Amino acid sequence: MRTANRAVRLTVQISLLLALLSGSVFVMLRSYLSDDERIYNEGRINQVVSQGGPVTVADVEWKLDSLESYTRLTDDEGEEISLDAPAGSVIIVATVTVTPGEAVYLKNGGFTCNASLRDDRGNSWPSANAFDFALPTSCSDDEHPFTRGKDGKIAQVFVVPGTAVPHLTGIIVEDLAERNRVLIKP
Amino acid sequence: MKLYRPATILVGVLFILLGGLTRLATPEQVYDEQNMKAVRGTVGEVLQYGGGDSTVKVTRMKFAKAIVENDEDKPIETNGVFVAIEWDTVRGSEKPNNIKATLTADGGTVYAPIGLTNSGMDFPEAGFGKTGAVIFEVNPSDLKDLTLNVRPTMFFNTYNSYVLVDLGIPGDDIAQRMVDEAAAQYVLPRPVVRVAS
Amino acid sequence: MESLDDVIDAMIADRVIHRHRRKWLIVIALVVVVALVVLATGGWTQKKGRTVPTLTAPTTVESGEWEYNFTATEAEIRRKPKTKYSEAEAKLRVYFDLKNNDSEEHTSKYLDGRLVRMVPGGGKDLVESNGADCRGELGWVLVYGLPPESCYTEFDVAPDFAEEVVELGILGNRYESDNGLLGADEDPYWHNPVPDAVVRVKTKVVVDGEDE
């Protein structure tokens, strides 16, 4: 009788030990594996929208109207706009319709909106400043103020190597607060 | 009350050990040099930076007694000697960490770059390459085994690696010769971006 | 029927507290009185006055990673008169030779402006300097092993600043390690600045036509 009791107690102790061990290993790894911040920082895309959207990110509605490539950009007087575009690079212009929603904070009719260009190899390029372009290239241009609920057209200009053009997939809009990254394909 | 059964003590000790191991193993909290992988190379070699597909290369090294920034007319002088490291960086798809560049020598001195606008080392956008120069003021009596250290400024990545470039000064006599043959002036160029092949 | 635990508790209470009630009350009252007295007389730690040496320029100061040689007997109060576009300004400029004295790590570095502060007097807060301007560059990186460089530092002062003698507080970092108990890395490094000296310098007023 005594040996049977001892065996049962031993089994219970070992299984408790195993349960606690596996529990602690799970807790230890889970915070790393499902670390949203780390995964976001590594470039994960949460959502893919095709046909240009529209899609709402951080209460701003984005619609990709066109994605075109150029070798140079000119302003309304026909003068070339200077961009840091070395030989062999291509200028990509994305024209976008942006509609700020009710919760967007507008300062003097402007807010921060930013898109980056993405390709299928994981590369992404930030938008460049193109002064005097026909369309405003930011959402805080004094001459083109926004109002909530109303559309506004802007352009996002990117400089990419020529070899990247066949790999381009679309533009990326990010919401840092929600760790949300959306790819809008044309 | 039998609080001190051996099995209970063993379990307690086991969990403490587990906690300790976790703390040692978590990559974000390890600051020690031993956990950083060194990628070693020489002048002219293309070296991988930061575990991604970005690369760094030292094109050449020049010694000079004074530095002239592009448009400024007044050269900056030194009581030691200036070492200009011309570099070539290529950016891959992963965003590389910002660079902290230092020179180390056999005598233990650690040299930091001088604070001029065009002197520095960084990466262009994806698919592009960049060339530029970074200038260090150095002590001519401590130049043996001069090595360029290219480190990421943030260590909190799972893959920690840094680049060490041997600048080809194996002895004091060679160091002395390079100091003696230093150019009177070095014109600091502006960085140039190109499309990487 | 009381449990054994209750009986034991009652025994302890009786033997320790109840039998010595008066002594306990006296002890507590004494502690409270001492606390009130200390509070009333201005605190526990003794207020020390200035505990660092006061030197007068020209002089040399070794502090932390740096060696300062205050060569000039006078600092300049550089006044910029009011123009159509800007208000009148003034800066206090102090000249010194600066040497990198980092014998621990032999690392090149620039002077942190917070290590040299001006004591405006009258209990006002210390004014931080802007670092060291050497060879025409502010924040010049000095190399260990090279001779001292001629540098100067500047403080923003009121346009009508006219003190004849200014006091500069020189602070120096110490090469020590953090407390490993809380999990910090125990390798030593330069930090924890401590006042090392006060340097008194006479001043003279200079009218600044154009900034160099």
pLDDT digits (tens, 9 = 90+) for C13-24: 888 888 888 888
**What's C37-94 look like in SS3?**
HHHHCCCCCCCCCCCCCEEECCEEEEECCEEEEECCCEEEEEEECCCCCCCCEEEEEE
Under DSSP, is residue A44 helix (H, G, I), strand (E, B) or coil?
A: coil
Residues of A in contact with B127 (CB under 8 A): 123, 160-161, 163-164
Q: What is the pLDDT of residue A118?
A: 92
Same domain, C17 and C89: no
The amino acid sitting at A137 is T
Mean pLDDT of B85-103: 89
Q: Do chains C and A touch (3 or more CB pairs under 8 A)?
A: no
Contacts of B35 (CB under 8 A, 6+ apart): B27, B160
30-69 of A, contacting B, C-beta below 8 A: 32
Mean pLDDT of B80-104: 91
Number of folded domains in chain C?
2
Same domain, C30 and C101: no
Helices and strands, counts by H and E, chain B: 2, 11
Q: How far apart are CA C139 and CA C195, in angstroms?
A: 22
Chains with 3 or more CB pairs closer than 8 angstroms to B?
A, C
Q: What is the pLDDT of residue B32?
A: 45
Same domain, C19 and C85: no
- Decide if B126 and A126 are in contact by the 8 Å CB cutoff: no
- Decide if B196 and A164 are in contact by the 8 Å CB cutoff: no
Min Cα distance A108 → chain B (Å) is 32
Residues of C in contact with B78 (CB under 8 A): 135, 146
The amino acid sitting at A161 is P
Min Cα distance A150 → chain B (Å) is 34
- Decide if B141 and C145 are in contact by the 8 Å CB cutoff: yes
> Which of B82, B39, B112 is CA-nearest to residue B188?
B82
Same domain, C36 and C73: no
**Could you tell me the CA-to-CA distances from A70 to A93, A161, B129, B173 in Å, in that order?**
8, 12, 21, 56
Q: How far apart are CA B110 and CA C141, in angstroms?
A: 12
Same domain, C130 and C155: yes
Residues of C in contact with B115 (CB under 8 A): 110, 137, 139-141
pLDDT block averages, 10 residues each, chain A of length 186: 80 91 84 68 82 88 92 84 87 92 84 89 88 86 85 91 91 86 90
Task: Read off the pLDDT of residues A122-144 as tens digits, 9 standing for 90 and up.
Answer: 888 999 888 888 888 888 888 88
Residues of B in contact with A24 (CB under 8 A): 15, 18
**What's B94-163 look like in SS3?**
CCCCCEEEEEECCCCCEECECCCCCECCCCCCCCEEEEEEEEEEECCCCCCCCEEEEEECCCCCCCCEEE
Q: What is the pLDDT of residue B29?
A: 43
- Please indicate, yes or no, if residue C178 is contained in any of the structural domains: yes
Mean pLDDT of chain C: 86
Residues of C in contact with B24 (CB under 8 A): none
Q: How far apart are CA B31 and CA B15, in angstroms?
A: 24
Count the helix, strand and coil residues of chain B and give each as a percent rounded to the nearest 5: 20, 40, 40
Same domain, C105 and C199: yes
Range of the domain at C184: 54-207
- Please indicate, yes or no, if residue C212 is contained in any of the structural domains: no
Nearest-by-CA chain C residue for B104: C107
Mean pLDDT of C182-206: 85
- Decide if B138 and C143 are in contact by the 8 Å CB cutoff: yes
Min Cα distance B159 → chain A (Å) is 13
- Please indicate, yes or no, if residue C48 is contained in any of the structural domains: no
The amino acid sitting at B67 is I
- Please indicate, yes or no, if residue C47 is contained in any of the structural domains: no
- Asked if residue A123 lies in contact with residue B127, where contact means CB atoms within 8 angstroms, the answer is yes
Chains with 3 or more CB pairs closer than 8 angstroms to A?
B
Q: What is the pLDDT of residue B155?
A: 57
Q: Do chains A and B touch (3 or more CB pairs under 8 A)?
A: yes
Residues of C in contact with B155 (CB under 8 A): none
Tokens of A70: 């150029």
For tokens 């949300």, the residue is A180
Nearest-by-CA chain C residue for B135: C141
ipTM over 0.85: no
Q: Does A116 touch chain B (CB under 8 A)?
A: no
Nearest by CB to B115, which of C105, C107, C140? C140
- Decide if A122 and B196 are in contact by the 8 Å CB cutoff: no
Min Cα distance B84 → chain A (Å) is 25
Instruction: Name the β-bridge partners of B38.
Output: B162
Percent of chain B at pLDDT > 90 equals 53
Under DSSP, is residue A138 helix (H, G, I), strand (E, B) or coil?
A: coil
DSSP string for C120-151: -STTPPPEE----EETTEETPPBPTTSPPEEE
Nearest by CB to B18, which of A24, A32, A84? A24
> Which of B197, B187, B191 is CA-nearest to residue B72?
B187
The amino acid sitting at C209 is G
- Asked if residue C184 lies in contact with residue C178, where contact means CB atoms within 8 angstroms, the answer is yes
Q: What is the pLDDT of residue B1?
A: 45
Nearest by CB to A163, which of B14, B26, B127? B127
- Please indicate, yes or no, if residue C92 is contained in any of the structural domains: yes
| N-to-C CA span, chain A | 77
Q: What is the pLDDT of residue C1?
A: 61
Nearest by CB to B112, which of C109, C149, C185? C109
Under DSSP, is residue A163 helix (H, G, I), strand (E, B) or coil?
A: helix
- Please indicate, yes or no, if residue C46 is contained in any of the structural domains: no
Report the side by side order of strands in the sheet with B37-42.
B37-42, B161-166, B147-152, B99-104, B110-111
**Could you tell me the CA-to-CA distances from C16 to C9, C20, C28, C179 in Å, in that order?**
11, 7, 15, 40
Q: How far apart are CA C199 and CA C57, in angstroms?
A: 6
* Domain-wise residue ranges, chain B: 1-32, 36-195
Say if residue C97's pLDDT is above 60. yes
Percent of chain C at pLDDT > 70 equals 91
Same domain, C27 and C102: no
- Asked if residue B83 lies in contact with residue B63, where contact means CB atoms within 8 angstroms, the answer is yes
Return phi, psi of residue B89, to 5°. -115, 145
Q: How far apart are CA C89 and CA C160, in angstroms?
A: 8
**What's A45-65 look like in SS3?**
CCEEECCCCCEEECCEEEEEE
Domain with residue C186: its CATH number is 2.60.40
Nearest-by-CA chain A residue for B91: A123
Min Cα distance B9 → chain C (Å) is 24
Picking from A14, A28, A33, A39 by the largest number of B CB atoms within 10 A of its own CB, the best residue to mutate is: A28
- Please indicate, yes or no, if residue C155 is contained in any of the structural domains: yes
Q: What is the pLDDT of residue C210?
A: 54
Show the CA angle centred on residue B91, arms to residues A62 and A70, nearest 5°. Answer: 50
Task: Read off the pLDDT of residues C110-167 as tens digits, 9 standing for 90 and up.
Answer: 999 999 999 887 777 889 999 999 988 899 999 999 999 999 999 998 888 888 899 9
Under DSSP, is residue B71 helix (H, G, I), strand (E, B) or coil?
A: coil
Cis status of the peptide bond prior to C53, with omega within 30 of 0: no
Task: Read off the pLDDT of residues C48-80 as tens digits, 9 standing for 90 and up.
Answer: 667 788 999 899 999 999 999 998 888 999 998
Say if residue C36's pLDDT is above 60. yes
- Please indicate, yes or no, if residue C75 is contained in any of the structural domains: yes
- Decide if A125 and B125 are in contact by the 8 Å CB cutoff: yes
Topology of domain B36-195 in CATH is Immunoglobulin-like (2.60.40)
